[in-house]
Amino acid sequence: MGLALLGLIWLITFVSTYFFVAKTWWLPPGAAEAAGFIDHQFALTFVLMGIIFVAAQLSLGYFAWRYREHASAAPAQYSHGNGRLEIVWTVLTAILFIGLNLMGSRVWASQRFDPPAADAVKVEVTGMQFAWYFRYPGPDGHFAPTSVKLMDPSAGGEAALGIVTSDPDAKDDIVTGTMYLPVDREIDVSLRSVDVIHSFFVPSLRFKQDTVPGLNIHMHFRPTVIGEYEIACAELCGLGHYKMHGMVHVVSQEDFDKWLAAREAEKQ
Amino acid sequence: MATPATIHAHAPQGFIRKYIFSLDHKVIGMQYFFLALTAVFVGMFLSLLMRIHMVWPAAVLPLVGEIKPETYLSLLTMHGTIMVFFVLTTAPQGGFGNYFLPIQIGAPDMAFPVLNMLSFWTTFVAFVVIIAAFFVTGGAPLHGWTGYPPLSAVQSAGPGEGLGADLWITSIAIFCIASLMGALNFITTTLDLRAKGMSLMRMPLTVWSWFITAILGLLAFGVLLSAGILLLMDRNLGTSFYVPLIVVNGQVLGHKGGSPLLWQHLFWFFGHPEVYIAILPGMGVTSQILSTFSRKPIFGYKAMVYAMLSIGLFGFMVWGHHMFMSGMSPYSAFAFSILTMCIGVPSAIKTFNWLGTMHKGRIRFQTPMLYAIGFVSLFVSGGLSGPFLAQPVLDIQLHDTYFVVGHFHLIMGVAAIFGIFAATYYWFPKMFGRMMNETLGRIHFFITLAGTYAIFMPMHYLGMAGQTRRYSQFTEVAYQAKLIPLQTFITYAAIITISAQLIFVINLFWSMFKGPKASDNPWQSTTLEWTTATPPPHDNFGGVTPVVNHGPYEYAVPGAPRDYVMQTDPVSASAH
């Protein structure tokens, strides 16, 4: 029985570890500035936890087999433990866990506490059951106010967001269903929701933030690789949660300017 | 005033007083156990339907028909709620705690037998109410077991958010009241009814775990109860605790100024301690069984007690780690993150001590021991994904993905279930007077352990690849569609593992009536429940009051006549 347990526990350990180490399934390639650090921190945590995982599981299986009761087994040792070992173990784990944690806090801080760069591209992200809308402030750099009373989700676009069209800032506000971002520019994103909580999750950009009705949450990030990336809603928001999908197109500055100018022209 | 001793001078005779509205903690414990057993099969059946729907959405199932996306979300909500409340909270604490805490401390009953009966029947009502949610117009709610408003607070937010959601939150509120009554009883009993010589540091670790769990319950369920009442008011009385000015389905709702984050704070203030409410009794029973079947004292008894106490304490300071992505102040993430890492330390100590207990033991592999070892394995696997999620920067990628689903299922779901299985196989002889079948027990164990890993380990891979949870279909997002083969594998593993649970049910009921008769102490264990008759008499010790002379885990004592010294053995039985 001890051998069977050892076999199963070791097998589970090797198979589980294999798929992690082989990276059969892994984080999608990162396409934003933060990805470098996040992926490094992930890999570091993975290696450290992986060592503990393998060591603990292998010992568990080994002890089960090694100390099984059989005719010639040594008598059990009468021991209530070892105070010094307990202290060593406690201190080591505390240093490891807390150290890991402190290392991880830098990127978190920079995305949230530092103000965005002065030339950051402003985009407003709005979640609603079950679509994402993106608003660009246009040449004036100002978003027009919105009003709940004007919101008409079934109409889509500007009407869905309830933009106060009489406001002068509204003239050049662009609303789209696909997010366009210039590469290597800082993006100053403000996130809102009109109904329930959604979560704006772009795995490739290592970006996730809940959008909460009543809050306007500011974050900033910098996409670094041109490409098309999928948005998946990550907070249960109702029947169509699984369909609340969108795209981010990270393009060159030139293409971005062209795209924005075309939208402005369409609007006028 | 009637003390438990006088109440129990004579056992009640009629069927109703003896088995239905019983004041006997042992009967009440069994009532909780069978309630949880019913609930776990309901919960497991729901998960089976979910797994099938995710990978074969067009499947038409016998009796159930085709599962629609909204049904999927109802299944998910009810699966989580039923499992967390009516299984993971009910079986380890209400079931085994009720039955064995008084016996293990040498008491004739709980301190408040009537309150004990009330708390069971209140739990039963809560269960009936939540099951009723399936059968009302609109069906069960779709907002998930965490019930985040505004989704959970607004009737028009989706199907099931009408009467179904009212029943859901009402059931939880009733459950909270029941748990508060139970918690009071457990705490008072542990503090006041210990037999002579049963000092705190001689209590079995199971008793410590139930005691600490009761304290957590007392502090946590009160908060959830209040939160639930506020949610009911938002839903039905037009208040705005959780709901700001919003537009749902093109309608401006009458709410104004509420905070969706308030619910999350209150819910997780309960929700995180709840994780420990589910797992602490499992830690207790694992410690008890590892020591008994390794024939060796527990490694670091005091360290185990302090570890559980600090887990309980830290458990109340980490709720914000569920909210890193919620829009909560990012500064507070630092505090919650550090404190969460701190809670990993006592958890690591426990693992170390379990391994230390087996080290240089003389291990017997009866089924309870297999499950205790399985518990340690799952606790390690589920625990080590914690330090990923506790780091806000990594949580950016992993929050609300299958990585989280894999993490909490391993640690608070299946590890706790393994604790329940271990406890069932271990205490069944005492409760029912017969032994369970070892062969069936072993088959059940090996399939369940392998199956559990086959189900939940791949979820970590899915989560890293960005698979979001609570999606009824993965076809709408291209990168997620690529992960469907792995999801299909998980569904097959789930079907096999769930089917294997029938082995347990057959073993349980067959052994109850046909198993070989159990002796008073079949495992050669040391704690007080093994000193009394099998099954224990109405007053637990047949008119005798036990006197405790030894610590709980005196195995392999040098110079003792046999390889274990029971807690009630005379002092001369051992040098200690």
- Residue B62 confidence (pLDDT): 85
List, in sequence order, every residue forming a beta bridge with A198; answer none if it has no partner: A211
B476–A196 C-beta distance less than 8 A: no
Are B489 and A260 in contact by the 8 Å Cβ rule? The answer is no
Are A187 and A222 in contact by the 8 Å Cβ rule? The answer is yes
A235–B400 C-beta distance less than 8 A: yes
- Residue A54 confidence (pLDDT): 97
Name the helix (H) or strand (E) containing B87: none
Chain B neighbors of A104, CB-CB under 8 A: 337, 391-394
pLDDT tens-digit profile, chain A (268 residues): 889 999 999 999 999 999 999 989 999 999 999 999 999 999 999 999 999 999 999 999 999 999 999 988 888 999 999 889 889 988 998 898 888 888 877 778 877 888 888 899 999 999 999 999 999 999 999 999 998 888 888 888 888 899 998 999 999 999 999 999 999 999 999 999 999 999 999 999 999 999 999 999 999 999 999 999 999 999 999 999 999 999 999 999 999 999 999 999 988 7
Selection from B47, B257, B73 nearest residue B157 by Cα: B73
Residue B434 lies in a domain: no
CB nearest A104 (choices: B394, B461, B468) = B394
Average pLDDT, chain B: 94
The token pair at A174 is: 């662009």
The token pair at B522 is: 């079949």
Question: B121 CA to chain A: closest CA distance, Å?
Answer: 33
B361–A105 C-beta distance less than 8 A: no
Selection from B449, B387, B422 nearest residue A57 by Cα: B449
- CB proximity under 8 Å: A 38-77 to B: 38, 41-42, 45-46, 49, 52-53, 56-57, 59-60, 63-64, 67-69, 73-77
Query: Which of A86, A151, A231 to probe the B interface (max B CBs under 10 A)?
Result: A86
- Residue B18 confidence (pLDDT): 84
- Residue B6 confidence (pLDDT): 47
Are B216 and B276 in contact by the 8 Å Cβ rule? The answer is yes
A146 SS3 class: strand
The two beta strands, A179-182 and A245-251, are parallel
Query: CA-based angle B177:B189:B26, to the nearest 5?
Result: 80
Question: A2 CA to chain B: closest CA distance, Å?
Answer: 7
CB nearest A93 (choices: B344, B474, B476) = B344
Q: What is the dihedral of CA B262, B265, B266, B269, to 10 degrees?
A: -170
What's the number of domains chain B is made of? 1
Lowest mean pLDDT among A97-101, B142-146, B298-302: A97-101
pLDDT digits (tens, 9 = 90+) for B158-170: 888 999 999 999 9
Task: Check if A110 contacts B (Cβ < 8 Å).
Answer: no
The amino acid at B8:
H
Chain B neighbors of A7, CB-CB under 8 A: none
Query: CA-based angle B299:B90:B541, to the nearest 5?
Result: 65
- Residue A111 confidence (pLDDT): 79
- CB proximity under 8 Å: B 468-507 to A: 468, 470-474, 476-480, 483, 486
A8–B477 C-beta distance less than 8 A: no
A201–B468 C-beta distance less than 8 A: yes
- Residue B447 confidence (pLDDT): 98
- Residue B136 confidence (pLDDT): 95
Selection from B91, B549, B554, B14 nearest residue B292 by Cα: B554
Residue B29 pLDDT > 90? yes
List, in sequence order, every residue forming a beta bridge with B485; answer none if it has no partner: none
Residue B574 pLDDT > 60? no
Percent of chain B with pLDDT over 90: 89
The domains located in chain A, with CATH, are 2-68+82-112 (no CATH), 121-267 (2.60.40.420)
pLDDT digits (tens, 9 = 90+) for B374-397: 999 999 999 999 999 999 999 999
pLDDT digits (tens, 9 = 90+) for B260-291: 999 999 999 999 999 999 999 999 999 999 99
B159–A213 C-beta distance less than 8 A: no
Task: Check if A82 contacts B (Cβ < 8 Å).
Answer: yes
List, in sequence order, every residue forming a beta bridge with A199; answer none if it has no partner: A210
Are B288 and B363 in contact by the 8 Å Cβ rule? The answer is no
Residue B185 pLDDT > 90? yes
- Residue B576 confidence (pLDDT): 47
A56–B468 C-beta distance less than 8 A: no
Residue B499 pLDDT > 90? yes
CB nearest B399 (choices: A38, A69, A234) = A234
Residue B191 lies in a domain: yes
Are B230 and B172 in contact by the 8 Å Cβ rule? The answer is no
- CB proximity under 8 Å: B 295-324 to A: 295-301, 303
Are A228 and A247 in contact by the 8 Å Cβ rule? The answer is yes
The token pair at B428 is: 């069944």
Q: Is B561 exposed, middle or buried (0-12, 13-18, 19+ CB in 10 A)?
A: exposed
Q: How confident is the model at residue B64 (pLDDT cuts 50, 70, 90)?
A: confident
Residue B504 lies in a domain: no
A183 SS3 class: coil
Torsion over CA: A109, A111, A113, A114 (sign): positive
The C-alpha atoms of residue A48 and residue A36 are separated, in whole angstroms, by 18
Selection from B527, B397, B524 nearest residue B462 by Cα: B397
Interior/surface letters B427-466, b for 16+ CB within 10 angstroms, e for the rest: bbbbbbbbbbbeebbbbbbbbbbbbbbbbbbbbbbbbbbb
- Which CATH number goes with the domain that contains B162? 1.20.210.10
Residue B515 lies in a domain: no
Name the helix (H) or strand (E) containing B88: none
- CB proximity under 8 Å: A 134-153 to B: 148-149, 151-153
Q: How confident is the model at residue B2 (pLDDT cuts 50, 70, 90)?
A: very low
pLDDT digits (tens, 9 = 90+) for B458-470: 999 999 999 999 9
Residue B508 pLDDT > 90? yes
- Residue B10 confidence (pLDDT): 64
Residue B287 lies in a domain: no
Question: B64 CA to chain A: closest CA distance, Å?
Answer: 20
Name the helix (H) or strand (E) containing B482: none
| Range B301-330 average pLDDT | 95
Instruction: Indicate the DSSP class of residue A154.
Output: G
The C-alpha atoms of residue A103 and residue A121 are separated, in whole angstroms, by 29
A212–B260 C-beta distance less than 8 A: yes
- Residue A113 confidence (pLDDT): 84
pLDDT digits (tens, 9 = 90+) for B510-541: 999 999 999 999 999 999 999 999 999 999 99
CB nearest A199 (choices: B295, B325, B393) = B325
Report phi then psi at B493, rounded to 5: -60, -40
Residue B22 lies in a domain: yes
The C-alpha atoms of residue B405 and residue B469 are separated, in whole angstroms, by 7
Query: Which of A18, A88, A91, A108 to probe the B interface (max B CBs under 10 A)?
Result: A108
Q: How many CB atoms lie within 10 A of CB B15?
A: 8
Selection from B260, B270, B212 nearest residue B240 by Cα: B260
Residue B444 pLDDT > 50? yes
pLDDT digits (tens, 9 = 90+) for B402-441: 999 999 999 999 999 999 999 999 999 999 999 999 999 9
Task: Check if B151 contacts A (Cβ < 8 Å).
Answer: yes
- CB proximity under 8 Å: A 176-235 to B: 194-197, 199, 201, 203, 206-215, 217, 230, 232-235
**Quick one: how far is CA A67 from the chain centroid?**
45
Count how many Cα atoms sit within 13 Å of the Cα of residue B394 in the half-sphere of its side chain: 25
The C-alpha atoms of residue B460 and residue B443 are separated, in whole angstroms, by 27
The C-alpha atoms of residue B520 and residue B523 are separated, in whole angstroms, by 9
Question: B571 CA to chain A: closest CA distance, Å?
Answer: 18
Provide the domain limits for residue B132: 1-258
- Residue B5 confidence (pLDDT): 47
Residue B307 lies in a domain: no
